[in-house]
Structure 1
Amino acid sequence: MSTSSLMTGRRAGSPLKQMRTDRLWMRASTPALAEAAIDYQARNVEHFARWDPTRPADHWELEVTRARLAREEAAFDAGTTWRFWLSLHDAPERVIGQCALSEVVRGVFQSAMLGYSLDHACVGGGLMQEALRRLLDEGFGPAVSLHRVQASVRPDNQRSRRVLERLGFQREGFSPRYLFIDGAWRDHETFALINPQWGETQRPAV
């Protein structure tokens, strides 16, 4: 895949804060994106209802969202969560998705959790696969060098499962009643992808 990157603000062991793919602009969390993130959520309330964990009533209020994105900005610099907001090249102010590597653990684990969502009007065109491939290239590349990325998905979320499978994720297990979503405790499947560049005996940088 043909991609180019914007070299902006990389800290040691962290991804770039802005990246481009063939069709997407990926920007790390910052309070300046609060209104665009709220608009993205508002357009997709029904679309996300089946898959999103239950949130506090004020979760998407402006000041609450700004504060949350400020915490994510600090977490990005600390190397614990790397969230990116997605926009098309020809509509850079309109957020159409997000993806994140969170719960980053270094030491002997060198692992992170993957999460993602996409605007209902954009599904089916390969945009999320494009974004995640770029994120994984960065996460598995020499600057970040994760060993493993894990994702959890509900068994009935076939579209999300197909995205993971096309990226090479392997099903590792089943977690009954894993998260409280849409009014009930929901089962999830666990998928994971191992960095193919890591040798069997390669030591992590502790």
Structure 2
Amino acid sequence: MPIPKPTRPAKRLLLRDVVFAKLRDAIVSGELQPGETISESEVESWANASRTPVREAIDRLAAVGLVDVLPQRGTLVAELDPQRASSSFSLLGELLAVSSRIVVPVATATQRDAVARRTRSVRSAAQLVATDGVFDVLVGVIGNPRLRQAWDELVPHVLRTWTIAPEHAPTLDELDLDGFAAAVTDGDGDRTEVVLRRWFDAHDAHPRTVLDAPAQETI
């Protein structure tokens, strides 16, 4: 019988994007530690890729600030920058608050339920920003490509800092998770924005002695 044609073409992943994602995830998780040297030849073997896509992936990592390419020293994993992580998180909060107010009321019940389900399972701030976490799903519902680009560039700095140095992560105390889930489920964009802003505002008011403290050296 004839094979049905797909409704949309499958997205083809370029090897450079695959290498970039593998290196980014290794940096964010702490598998590649701050200050560690990245050998292009080792990456080629590790990712089963040729020099060109590896070079392109490293250039992209440098562009978003996850590695430093230094003359005579090669490529090093960037040091942790808690202040940058804090600023990135605040910017993402503003983008999410404004966007959710507009989009939540017009999202489908299925989309709203997906966000609410993720919210009810959250046990740490990192779970909010992780891949397939609450905010990642919300960004997908919003569907704005510029927001997605900003999210993909800023979140690695946030999640990496919270993963390697969890003392810099905010608490969930100020975020009304039940209220947020209920607001999303009800399609109440105004209430969704209010709950988000309260938490991000509380994060911005967090004592700077904690947020700006130098990262602990890792062994």
Superposed pair shares fold, TM > 0.5: no
Q: Is the strand fraction higher in 1 or 2?
A: 1
Greater length-normalized contact order (CA 8 Å, ≥ 6 residues apart): 2
Relative to the length of structure 1, the TM-score reads: 0.23
- Counting helix residues as a fraction of each chain, which structure ranks higher? 2
Instruction: Answer with 1 or 2: which has the greater Rg.
Output: 2
TM-score (norm 2): 0.22
